[in-house]
């Protein structure tokens, strides 16, 4: 299976695609569907407990001294992206199915990634400390802001309705486990940090969410609600959104006078959208709704951002290496 390591695709994404394909061919039904729902609920709660155990609020608060950097990144994540999402929904009414449109809007509302944002910033020799704080803050705030933004911006789509039962589910499956994880850090943070294999729990939970969502979608005739043309248009839109945000974050950072290192952190943290947080949240926020098509934009955007940011990080690293090798200032 060594050929898997040479594929230009994230293996986690490959597992997600495999789960979607399997669910499309062998969807869970009857008693198995009921058992899958219970398992998914438990997995999401465990996932957000681990998020809370990993993220250090003390480090985040200490790092907020560089408030301009973090403010710009959070503004891109929770202001610029949602505004772009609303514009896309208005512009694609005649070319995308309602489920894909809702998924496109939802994509713009989820938090930034943590691991890949920090990793790419480090490779590119950017401000790693700033990336750590901003990515962590984005995920801590996202537990609260993403449901709020969904309520404000998606209630009119028919795909999310904040009833009392919905709020209770959000509290029990997202907020409460996350808060318990934060409160347990005194006993659990060291254990979680010392056992990186726990990421398999994270990823397994997300794959389970995808299988459950696509199983439900197959029972509801999901693929009869869209066409291959719509899917190709969606892919093109995701690529355009990524290109626009990569350019906008870099231009804004430089226009505001940030250093090259800060601009790299702003670009990599401000353009990312987290599959790891977004998919489980969708399972709670849109409970009882068809989720298969709604998840597709986030899945496509996730792979596109990994490939684009990997190429950019390598380019920045080579440029930084060349500068270090030849420190002589260029003639004016």
Segment 233-248, tens digit of pLDDT: 889 999 999 999 999 9
Tell me the average pLDDT across 289-300: 79
CA dist 226 and 95 (Å) reads 10
Higher pLDDT, 329 or 319: 319
Q: How many Cα atoms sit within 13 Å of 184 on the Cβ side?
A: 16
Give 7's pLDDT tier (boundaries 50, 70, 90).
very low
Comparing 88 with 133, which gets the higher pLDDT?
88
Q: 3-state SS of the chain?
A: CHHHHHCCCCHHHHHHHHHHHHHHHCCCCCHHHHHHHHHHHHHHHHHHHHHHHHCCHHHHHHHCCCHHHHHHHHHHHHHHHHHHHHHHHHHCCCCCCHHHHHHHHHHCCCCCCCHHHHHHHHHCCCCHHHHHHHHHHHHHHHHHHHHHHHHHHHHHHCCCCCCHHHHHHHHHHHHHHHHHHHHCHHHHHHHHHHCHHHHHHHHHHHHHHHHHHHHHHHHCCHHHHCCHHHHHHHHHHHHHHHHHHHHHHHHHHHHCCCCHHHHHHHHHHHCCCCHHHHHHHHHHHCCCCCCHHHHHHHHHHHHHHHHHHHHHHHHHHHHHHHHHHCCCCCCC
Domain positions in the chain are 11-318
Least confident of 3-12, 167-176, 222-231, 318-327: 3-12
Amino acid 332: pLDDT:
34
| For residue 262, pLDDT beyond 90 | yes
Indicate if the pLDDT at residue 3 is higher than 50: no
CA 222 – CA 213 distance, rounded (Å): 10
Crossing angle of the two packed helices 11-25 and 199-219, in degrees rounded to 10: 30
Overall average pLDDT of the 89-98 stretch: 82
72-104 as b/e: b if 16+ CB within 10 A: bbbebbbebbbebbeebbeebeeebbbbbbbbb
Largest separation between any pair of C-alpha atoms in the chain: 74
Rounded to a whole number of angstroms, the CA Rg of the chain reads 20
pLDDT at residue 192 is higher than 60: yes
- Name which residue leads in pLDDT, 70 or 174: 70
Q: Quick check: 327 pLDDT over 70?
A: no
Residue 174 has pLDDT above 60, yes or no: yes
Does pLDDT of 123 surpass 80? yes
| Model pLDDT, residue 228 | 81
Location of structure tokens 């449901």:
147
Q: What is the mean pLDDT of residues 42-66?
A: 72
Reported CATH class of domain 11-318: mainly alpha
Residue 9 pLDDT: 57
Instruction: Name residues whose C-beta falls within 8 Å of residue 144's C-beta, 6 or more positions apart in sequence.
Output: 175
pLDDT score for 273: 92
Tell me, what's the pLDDT at 329?
47
**Which residue, chain included where needed, has tokens 């979608």?**
217
Residue 325 pLDDT: 52
With bands split at pLDDT 50, 70 and 90, how would you rate the model's confidence at 58?
low
Q: Please tell me the distance from the alpha carbon of residue 214 to that of residue 55, in angstroms, as a whole number.
A: 30
Of residues 113 and 156, the one with the higher pLDDT is 113
Q: What are the structure tokens assigned to 209, written together? A: 């969410």
pLDDT above 50 for 331: no
With a cut of 70, say whether residue 127 has pLDDT above it: yes
d(CA 283, CA 281): 5
Q: What is the mean pLDDT of residues 309-314?
A: 85
Write down the mean pLDDT value for the chain: 80
Residues 6+ apart with CB under 8 A from 331: none
Q: Which of 54-58, 137-141, 250-254, 257-261 has the lowest mean pLDDT?
A: 54-58
Q: Which of 56-65, 230-239, 296-305 has the least mean pLDDT?
A: 56-65
Residues 6+ positions from 140 with CB-CB distance below 8 Å:
55, 57, 60
Question: Is the pLDDT reported for residue 23 higher than 70?
Answer: yes
Q: What is the pLDDT of residue 4?
A: 45
Q: Residue 75: which pLDDT band, with cuts at 50, 70 and 90?
A: very high
């Amino acid at each position: 299976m060594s050929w898997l390591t040479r594929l230009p695709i994230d293996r986690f994404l490959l597992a997600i695609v495999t789960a979607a394909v399997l669910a499309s061919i062998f969807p869970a039904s009857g008693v198995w569907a009921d058992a899958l729902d219970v398992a998914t609920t438990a997995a999401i709660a465990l996932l957000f407990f681990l998020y809370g155990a990993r993220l250090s609020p003390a480090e985040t608060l200490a790092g907020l001294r560089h408030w301009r950097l973090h403010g710009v990144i959070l503004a891109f994540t929770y202001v610029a992206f949602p505004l772009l999402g609303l514009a896309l929904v208005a512009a694609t009414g005649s070319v995308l199915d309602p489920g894909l449109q809702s998924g496109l809007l939802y994509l713009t509302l989820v938090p930034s990634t943590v691991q890949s944002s920090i990793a790419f910033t480090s490779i590119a020799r950017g401000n790693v400390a700033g990336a750590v704080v901003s990515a962590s803050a984005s995920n801590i705030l996202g537990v609260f802001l993403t449901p709020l933004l969904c309520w404000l911006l998606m209630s009119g789509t028919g795909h999310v309705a904040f009833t009392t039962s919905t709020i209770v589910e959000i509290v029990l499956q997202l907020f409460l486990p996350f808060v318990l994880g934060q409160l347990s850090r005194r006993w659990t943070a060291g254990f979680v940090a010392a056992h990186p294999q726990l990421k398999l729990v994270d990823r397994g939970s997300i794959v389970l969410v995808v299988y459950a969502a696509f199983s439900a979608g197959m029972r509801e005739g999901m693929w009869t609600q869209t066409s291959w043309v719509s899917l190709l248009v969606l892919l093109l839109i995701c690529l355009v959104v990524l290109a626009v945000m990569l350019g906008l974050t870099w231009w804004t950072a430089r226009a505001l006078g940030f250093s090259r290192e800060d601009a790299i952190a702003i670009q990599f943290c401000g353009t990312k959208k987290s599959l790891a947080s977004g998919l489980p949240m969708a399972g709670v926020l849109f409970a009882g709704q068809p989720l298969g098509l709604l998840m597709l934009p986030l899945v496509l955007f996730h792979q596109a951002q990994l490939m684009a940011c990997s190429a950019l990080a390598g380019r920045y690293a080579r440029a930084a290496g060349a500068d270090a090798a030849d420190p002589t200032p260029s003639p004016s």
